[in-house]
A and B are shown apart, each in its own frame.
Chain A
Amino acid sequence: MFGNIYCKRILVSVRNKGTLIWTWIFPLMMATLFYFAFSGLQDAELLKTIPAGIVVSEEYESDTALRTTLQAVSDPEEGFLELHTYETREAAAEALTSGEIDGFFSLENGSPKLSVSKNDLNQTILKSFLDQYVQTRHAVISLLEKGDTDVSQILDLFQTETWTEELSLSKNVPSETVNYFFALLAMVCMYGGFQGLDSVSYLQANLSPLGARRTLSPAKRFPMVFFDLLAALTVHMACMLFLLAYLVLILRVDFGTGLVPVIVTCLFGSFLGMSFGSFVTAISRAKEGVKVAVIISVSLACSFGAGMMVSGINYKIAKTLPVLAWLNPAARISDALYCLYYYDGYGQYFLNLGILAAMTLAFSIVTAFFLRRQRYESI
Chain B
Amino acid sequence: MIHVKNLVKRYGKLVALDHFSLDVQDGEIFGLLGPNGSGKTTAINCILSLLTYDKGEISLFGEPMSPTNYKSKKKIGVVPQNVAVFNELTVQENIDYFCGLYVPEKAARKPLVEEAIEFAGLADFRRFLPKKLSGGLLRRLNIACGIAHKPELIFLDEPTVAVDPQSRNSILEGIRALNASGATIIYTSHYMEEVEQLCSRIMIMDKGRAIATGTREELTALIHTGEKLTVETPALPPAILEQIRNLPNVLRADHGDGHLKADCKGDGHPIIDVLDLLRQNNVSFGQVYSEPPTLNDVFLEITGKQLRD
Tell me the A residues contacting B by CB distance below 8 Å. Answer: 1, 4-5, 8, 11-16, 205, 208-210, 212-220, 374-379
Give A370 Cβ to nearest chain B Cβ, in Å: 15
Q: A219–B101 contact, CB under 8 A?
A: yes
* Count, chain B residues at interface, CB 8 A: 33
Q: Which residue of A lies closest to B86 (CB)?
A: A12
Q: A216–B70 contact, CB under 8 A?
A: no
Q: Which residue of B lies closest to A202 (CB)?
A: B86
Q: B101–A12 contact, CB under 8 A?
A: no
Question: What residues of B have a CB within 8 angstroms of the CB of A205 in the complex?
Answer: 50
* Bound: A209/B49 CA distance, A: 15
Q: Which of A13, A212, A213, A220 contacts B70 (CB 8 A)?
A: A220
Question: What residues of A have a CB within 8 angstroms of the CB of B265 in the complex?
Answer: none
Give B90 Cβ to nearest chain A Cβ, in Å: 9
Give B84 Cβ to nearest chain A Cβ, in Å: 4
Give A136 Cβ to nearest chain B Cβ, in Å: 60
Q: Which of A8, A11, A15, A215 contacts B50 (CB 8 A)?
A: A215
Give B145 Cβ to nearest chain A Cβ, in Å: 8
Q: Which of B267-306 contact A (CB under 8 A)?
A: none
B74 CB–A CB distance under 8 Å? yes
Q: Interface readout for B93-134 with A: 1 if CB under 8 Å, 0 if not?
A: 100111011101010000000000000000000000000000
Known: A4-B106, A213-B78, A379-B51; 7 extra A-B contacts, CB below 8 A, are A1-B101, A8-B97, A209-B83, A215-B67, A217-B73, A217-B102, A219-B101
B166 CB–A CB distance under 8 Å? no
Q: Which of B27-80 contact A (CB under 8 A)?
A: 45, 48-52, 67-68, 70-71, 73-74, 76, 78, 80
Tell me the B residues contacting A by CB distance below 8 Å. Answer: 11, 45, 48-52, 67-68, 70-71, 73-74, 76, 78, 80, 82-86, 88-89, 93, 96-98, 100-102, 104, 106, 145
Question: What residues of A have a CB within 8 angstroms of the CB of B84 in the complex?
Answer: 208-210, 212-213
Q: A213–B98 contact, CB under 8 A?
A: yes
Give B95 Cβ to nearest chain A Cβ, in Å: 11
Q: A12–B89 contact, CB under 8 A?
A: yes
A-B contact pairs, 22 of them (CB 8 A): A1-B100, A4-B104, A4-B106, A8-B96, A14-B88, A205-B50, A209-B83, A210-B85, A212-B45, A212-B80, A212-B82, A214-B101, A215-B50, A217-B73, A218-B71, A374-B49, A374-B67, A375-B50, A375-B67, A378-B51, A379-B45, A379-B51
Q: Which residue of A lies closest to B77 (CB)?
A: A216
Give A223 Cβ to nearest chain B Cβ, in Å: 11
* Bound: A378/B83 CA distance, A: 18
* Bound: A376/B9 CA distance, A: 12
* Bound: A379/B96 CA distance, A: 26
Q: Give the interface centre of B82, B89, B100 by most chain A CB atoms within 10 Å.
A: B100
Q: A375–B52 contact, CB under 8 A?
A: yes
Q: B51–A5 contact, CB under 8 A?
A: no
